[in-house]
Structures are given as structure tokens and as C-alpha cells.
Amino acid sequence: MPRRTPPPLLAALVAAALPGALPAQTVDDGVVLPARFGYAMVAYGVDRWDRYWEGTRLRDNANIGTLTTRTVGLGFGYGLTDRLTLVASLPYVRTEASDGVLQGQRGMQDLTVAVKLRALQGRTAGGTAFQALLTAGAAAPTTDYTPDFLPMSIGLASRRAMLRAAVRAEGRAGWFADAGAGHTWRSTVTLDRPAYFTDDRLVLSDEVAMPDVVDWSATAGWQARGLRVPVTLAGQRTLGGGDIRRQDMPFVSNRMDFTRVQAQAAYQIPGVALDAFVGGSRVLAGRNVGRSSQLFAGVVGVFRL
Amino acid sequence: MSSVSDRRPLAAAAVALLVLIGGCDRSVQPTETLPPLQAASLDADAGAWRMFVLAAPEQVAVAAPAATTSDAYRAELAAVKAAQAAMTRAQRANVEYWSGGGVLRWNQVMRELVARYNLPPAPRPDGSYPVPDAENPFADPNFPFASPPYAARAYSYVSVAQYEALKATWHWKFRYNRAAPAKVDAGVQALAPVGDLPAYPSEDAVLAGATAEMLKLLFPGSVEEITRRAAEEREAALLSGRATASDVAAGLALGRSVAALVIARARADGMGAAGGTAALWQGMATAATARGEVAWLSQETPARPPMLPNFGAVQAWTMTAAQLATLDPPAPPSTSSARMAEDLAEVKRVTSNLTREQLAVALKWNDGAGTYTPPGHWNDIAAEYVRDARMSEVRAARVFAALNMAMHDAAVACWAIKFRHYNPRPVQLDPTIKTSIGLPNFPAYPSGHSTFSAAASTVLGAYFPSAAGEFAAQAEEAGISRLYGGIHYRADIENGKAHGLRIGAAVVQAVR
């Protein structure tokens, strides 16, 4: 049954607001807020890679060196009802290459808005709480940044619609686990040039069809005395798109796949309705993406209207 | 909580999502649409137009065809009817594809081949760069690296071969005057426009033969695709009711023979030595230093040999080297001059305060690695005008030949000057300058984009006078895009443009 207190440790929400250098623009699996409770989050992340997958070939590039993506993520959530929560996120992204001549890019990236529904909840005889969440969301660029200057571009600039389903379990002993999967539909993006070559084909158009994306995640963690430590394995598969060719630049509709592991620790600061969190992630395997390592930290404040 | 109040927002969200998905563009038209070509004129005199490689339109002989009343020809007509009756859906689509015009279709194919092969070699672990090998085109790196000079030359050779072959074709067509099968026999369907143009030899087969031979030489790694497309074009000629087997056979033979003559020129035009040697470009650097100038250095890591330093010695189409040299721009501002300091400061100022509109212009004209190159961009621009003018194949070939000869000659002249002066790029003189497009790996002065584009716009303006202003504006934009991108000084752009205008005007005179 819904509690009339702030939900604990909303910091589990943070990952989604920090796309970093990866095109992981999904909505989180997070928690559902009680009605009229809200949260506001700010987080900072630094993502770096010095090797990337050119297709399936892992390589370095002395004309890029290390690519650093710094992100300031803003996130908001609000419980419309006890079962339905509205969430939104908006990152500011800045890219920079340590070597070579390419100019770093910066700007507000994409606004994501989603509603999360707790579709089911229950409790086993042993006291384990279950719930199932359904999320529907949409995202769109907030600025006219170019997606045609990868890897310096701050995003891929497509409008997107997302559906996700997730289940979570929380035991009395302090353990918890999540599993979720989602599908993202993407609009075409428009380039500033009249033709491009990708996936072994010259397209005589400024419009680029963007293949759909599926993603999945599995989390296990432990929480006690205001501390919460989730560890997540997550992945993305792009359902189409071409590989980066040998010694070519990346392209917006490339088949960008990755599997990454993420760990974080969140702490509920006693006496204030504020959580602080730190974490990191590492891409384990990928295709047409950087082998990123990311560190992030932030705070989440909970309020009641 | 009431479940009704829960469901309403979710339902609204679901509806919004569906609207969003449904309302989004999800697919893309991948190519220029080419309606079936109904040529606006027959161009019956095209056999007398000026030749560039052939000595005369009769240099390659075409035997007289059988009369339309002969048994042999009747058998061919029966074969066309039988083939039309047994057409598959794929064959029908193929007829429709080629009905858009062979010159325009091959131009699209050629742009795709250039983009496919326009990738610089990746460095080896020891920091050296492998050289693409024509004898081993599938190795890493693929052969060729279809860089802008390589592409300019490739577009020109294919276009010239097509143009020469089609002028000869027109000559023989009007010599023998054998009508198309769909005109001779009402039982043969016209599945593509069949006009009054004589069918023997088939212009479609000539184009297939000439183009495939040229492309196989230039893009040996794509022989399979090139051969398949050429066979499809010949099949389309027959199935469309435009040509019989003997029209196609005579056309194929003529096209291949003309290509062989053009290939003989290509093998002797100096391209084989365009890559130069380390001694050559080190000598260029030493000479620049001896003149008191800062010599160009590759800004890539590891340092990459400059792109085709001896391309300036390749044979031009419309002028001798001496004639071409009379059009050269002056020397660039000295690297120690006040003008250079001003130009460098301008690059720094512009790139540091780049607007989104300027970035869009830089990206529009980037035409860097992996693209069809600046000459390909101008072919792209030309294609729509050629299509809309409903030009006969030979007239369309003339526009592309003139355009691509101009860009080849511009590339030769521009490269000669680039490597004569060996002038550094802005980021070499001021490493705090950052570019928003890839930095070309060859000396700066003058801007190749500006030279190509000014030459191309001049030629297109001569063939499409009502759009001359538009072409000039595009060329202007192409030039200034290099300042916005942070890779050229204003002096490179202005002098490149003036040079390109002179070359374009000379080519227009030569082709007329």
C-alpha cells in the first residue's frame, strides 16, 4: 500500500538523465512516487573513451585522443496519482577531444518526458514486495545541434517514442532487484548536406532514417540504514544501421550497440529530504560506440506539494 | 485511489505516443527520382559535335544493320515479344529504373562508387600508412582511395567516354536510320519512351559498354556490381521495346571500343606517378623553407603523406600544361606577411564564434572522407537540371563531360599550385584553432573547393543560363564554407575562386 512518506533513495533514477557519450536515451525503471510527491535532481557526469569500436574493431585514434563528454543532468518527477508518475529529464552536454583539430560541441540536448504506471504490485508470504511498471515516454531535441559531427556531436537529434516494462522485487532483508526492457522508435533526422553514404549505400537526401533501438537492464542491490547500492548490467541493440567503415567517421544512423556495467551508491542524508549519490559505469562490449568509462555524482531532493 | 483517474493520463499518454510515432517521418526516399526520359530534342547533328579523344565519329566502325524486312530482324522482333511476354516483376522494375536515362543513372552509380571508396588508409601500428593497391583492391586499404583529385579524374574519364561514345553512336544511328522495334512492329510494347531516335546501335548498350569498362578500371573492387548493372541496362533496352539483340550487340561493341581508346589515354596521363615519393614532398618542403616560408606539415597523427602531391602533373583535358599555367593565381600571402596574420586572425575569430548557420554551411559543403567529394556534389547539383531539361542522352553526356572536364582541369591546376607553394593550414600556424569539419591533408593555398566550384558553376551556367546566378551563389557558399570550417584562409578562397572561374570559362570555350 502506498506510504505517505517520501520514497527512499530516489537516486536510483539518476542514470537515465545522464546519457554521457552513449546514445542510451531511455527512461529509467525507477520508482513510482506517491501522489503529490515530487523530486528534483541534478547530476554531473564525466564520460571518457580513448578507444572505440569501428564496426566491431576496437581501435584508438590519435587524431581524437581521449574524447570527454561532460554532462549536467536535470531530472524532475511528480506523482500524479499513487500509481502514476510523470518524469522529465534534460541534459546539458559538452564534448571535447584531447588531440586532433576537431572543435568540441556543447549545448542543451534532448528533453525526455515520460509517464510511469505501477501496473501491478503485491507481496509474497515471505514478505518480498513485487511490482511491475510500464513506462511510456517521448523525447525531442531542445536545440538545433547537429548530429552530423560525430563523435563531437552532443546527441543524435532524432525525436523518439519509448515504451518500457520493468519488474522489481524488494526483500525484507534489504536486497532488491530490477529487470526491464524497452523499445525506442526514432524519427528521421535532417542533416545540413544533400547526400550521405552509409550501410554501403549512397542516399541522395538530407533525411536519415534511424533504426529502432531496444534496450534492457538488470539490477541487483542492497539497501539498509539509508544506504542503497545497486549494480546494473545494461545493454542496447540498434535494429539496423551500418557500421563505421575502416577509417571513416561515425554516422548518426550507425548500428550502435553496447553492454555496460554500472555501480552506484546513494545515501539518504539524515534530517533533510535529500539523497546524494555517486557512481560509475564502464562499457564492456560495443559496436560503433566508444569504450566509455563514466563517473557521476548528484543530489536528489524530494518535496511534497 | 480511483483507477479511473489513473487510466486517463495513461490513456492520454498512449494516444500521444501513437500520434508521435505515426506523425514522425520514419523512412527516406534514397535516390533522386528520374521520370521516364522523353528527350526534348533528337540532336540529330550530335555526330558532328567536337571530339576530345576520338579523331572522328567513324574511328570505331559499326557495320550496317540488317533491314527491318529481313528474316534475321523478324526473328529478333519475335525474340523481343517473347521476352516481353515472359517479363518478371524485377525485370519490369529494371526497365523502369533505366528509363530514367542511362547517363543520369550511371552518374548516380558513379557518385555512390566514389563515396564507397573515398576513405583514407588507416595507419599501421608502426605509424606508417599503407598505399592502396590496384592489383589487390579488396585489401585494407581498399583500392582506390577516391580522394577529391582521384574522384575529379574518375568522373571526367567516365563522362568523357560516355560523351565520345554517344557522339559516335548518334553518327551511326543517323547513318543507318533503323527504327526502334516498338516503332517497326506494333506487337512490340513500348515500356519506356520510344521516340524517333534510330535504334541501331542502341545508346543504352553503348552506355553500358563504355561506362562499365571505365568503371572497372577506376573501381576494380566493384567489378561484380558494375558488370551486373551494365547487363541490366542492356536487358532493359531490349525489354523496353527500344532495341533488338543486334541493336544491343552493336552498341555494346561500340561502347567498349570507345572505352578502350579512352582507357589508353588514362594509362598515359600521369596518374600513376601522382602519389609522388617521400623525396618529392620533402623537396617541396625544403624549397618552401628556403623561400623563407613556413612549410606545410601534416596535422594528422601519425603524420600522413600529403594527398597526391604530383597530381598537378596529370594531363588536363582541354588545355596543355603551358596553357593551363597561364591561368594560375598569384603566389599566396607570405606566411610572415601582415595579410596572412589578418587572414589567420579571421579564421580564429570566425571559428571561435561560429553561428549555427555558418556550421550548417560548413557541413553542407564538407564533402570530406566517405562522401562523393566536391566534384560529386556538383554532379549531384547538375543532375537535377539535366533531368528537368529532358536532355537526350548525348546532350546530357555533354553537360557532364564539360562539367567533369572542368573539375578535372581545375583539380590538376589547383594541385600544381598547392604543391608549388606548400602553404600551411590555419591550425598549423595557430594550434588553438579548431575545425568543424575534417582537415584535408594537403597544403592550403588555393582552396580546392573554391576552384572546383567556381569552374563547375561557370560550366553549368553556360548550359543552364537561367540558373547561372544560382550556381554562382552555390559556388560562393562552397568557398566560404571552408573559412567557416576553419580549414582555409580568405586568400585561399578568393584566389581559388578566381582561378576556377578562368578555368571554367576556358572549358566552356573548348567544349562548344
Shared-domain flag, residues B294 and B169: no
Whether the pLDDT of residue B284 is over 90: the answer is yes
Shared-domain flag, residues B313 and B212: no
Q: Once rounded to an integer, what is the mean pLDDT over residues B84-106?
A: 98
Summarize pLDDT for B254-277 with one digit per residue, the tens: 999 999 999 999 999 999 999 999
* pTM for the whole structure: 0.94
A187 reaches B (C-beta below 8 A): yes
CA quadruple A146, A148, A149, A153: dihedral sign: positive
Contacts of A115 in chain B (CB under 8 A): 9-10, 13
CB contact under 8 A, A101 and B32: no
The number of residues making up chain A comes to: 305
Distance (Å) of CA B468 to CA A269, B377, B397, B401, B475: 70, 17, 19, 18, 11
| Residue B272, domain member (yes or no) | no
CB contact under 8 A, B369 and A159: no
CB contact under 8 A, A115 and B25: no
Shared-domain flag, residues B248 and B306: no
Q: Where residue B262 sits, what CATH number does that domain have?
A: 1.20.144
Nearest-Cα distance to chain A for B23, in Å, is: 9
Q: Looking at chain B, which residue has its C-alpha nearest residue A199?
A: B116
User: What residue numbers bound the domain in which B502 lies?
Assistant: 277-511
Shared-domain flag, residues B402 and B255: no
Question: Domain limits of chain A?
Answer: 10-304
CB contact under 8 A, A144 and B356: yes
Contacts of B435 in chain A (CB under 8 A): 101-103
Nearest to A248 among B14, B370, B377 (CB): B370
* Of A75-84, B295-304, B388-397, B439-448, minimum mean pLDDT range: A75-84
CA quadruple B74, B78, B84, B85: dihedral sign: positive
Work out the angle between the directed axes of helices B223-239 and B102-117 (0-180°, nearest 10).
170
Residue B69's CB is within 10 A of a number of other CB atoms, namely: 8
| pLDDT at site A16 | 41
Contacts of B9 in chain A (CB under 8 A): 80-81, 84, 86, 115
| Residue B16, domain member (yes or no) | no
| pLDDT at site B112 | 98
Q: Once rounded to an integer, what is the mean pLDDT over residues B286-313?
A: 98
ipTM given for this complex: 0.94
CA gap B129, B110 in Å, rounded: 27
Residue in B256, B263, B261 with CA at minimum distance from that of residue B234: B256
A201 reaches B (C-beta below 8 A): yes
| Residue B284, domain member (yes or no) | yes
| Residue B67, domain member (yes or no) | no
Q: Once rounded to an integer, what is the mean pLDDT over residues B8-15?
A: 63
Whether the pLDDT of residue A14 is over 50: the answer is no
Q: Are strands A57-59 and A106-108 parallel, antiparallel or unpaired?
A: unpaired
CB contact under 8 A, B10 and A136: yes
Residue ending a domain, choose from B238, B267, B296: B267
Q: Where residue B332 sits, what CATH number does that domain have?
A: 1.10.606.20
CA gap B145, B114 in Å, rounded: 9
CB contact under 8 A, A103 and B435: yes
Whether the pLDDT of residue A286 is over 90: the answer is yes
Residue in B424, B406, B221 with CA at minimum distance from that of residue B335: B424
Cβ pair B236, B93 in contact under 8 A: no
Cβ pair B73, B228 in contact under 8 A: no
Band (A283; pLDDT cuts 50, 70, 90): very high
Residue in B56, B251, B267, B243 with CA at minimum distance from that of residue B157: B267
Shared-domain flag, residues B236 and B332: no
| pLDDT at site B259 | 98
Shared-domain flag, residues B389 and B415: yes
| Residue B287, domain member (yes or no) | yes
Shared-domain flag, residues B260 and B302: no
Contacts of A142 in chain B (CB under 8 A): none
CA gap A237, A22 in Å, rounded: 12
Burial of B343 (0-12, 13-18, 19+ CB in 10 A): buried
CB contact under 8 A, A159 and B24: yes
* Of B102-106, B132-136, B453-457, B475-479, minimum mean pLDDT range: B132-136
Residue ending a domain, choose from B267, B301, B331: B267
| pLDDT at site A9 | 38
Shared-domain flag, residues B259 and B308: no
Band (B356; pLDDT cuts 50, 70, 90): very high
Whether the pLDDT of residue B4 is over 70: the answer is no
| Interface with A, mutate which of B6, B19, B117, B367 (most A CBs under 10 A) | B6
CB contact under 8 A, A80 and B9: yes
CA gap A236, A26 in Å, rounded: 10
| pLDDT at site B440 | 98
Cβ pair B484, B437 in contact under 8 A: no
Shared-domain flag, residues B263 and B349: no
Whether the pLDDT of residue A17 is over 60: the answer is no
Residue A122 pairs in a beta bridge with: A130
Residue B30's CB is within 10 A of a number of other CB atoms, namely: 12
Shared-domain flag, residues B195 and B326: no
CA gap B351, A63 in Å, rounded: 19
Shared-domain flag, residues B464 and B326: yes
**Number of structural domains found in chain B:** 2
Q: Once rounded to an integer, what is the mean pLDDT over residues A265-274?
A: 87
Shared-domain flag, residues B193 and B317: no
Residue ending a domain, choose from B235, B267, B299: B267
CB contact under 8 A, B30 and A201: yes
Q: A10-304: what CATH class?
A: mainly beta
CB contact under 8 A, A115 and B13: yes
| pLDDT at site B7 | 58
Residue A82's CB is within 10 A of a number of other CB atoms, namely: 20
Nearest to A208 among B20, B28, B435 (CB): B28
Whether the pLDDT of residue B380 is over 70: the answer is yes
Whether the pLDDT of residue B495 is over 70: the answer is yes
Whether the pLDDT of residue B23 is over 90: the answer is no
Summarize pLDDT for A134-155 with one digit per residue, the tens: 999 999 999 999 999 999 999 9
| pLDDT at site A91 | 93
Nearest-Cα distance to chain A for B303, in Å, is: 10
CB contact under 8 A, A63 and B300: yes
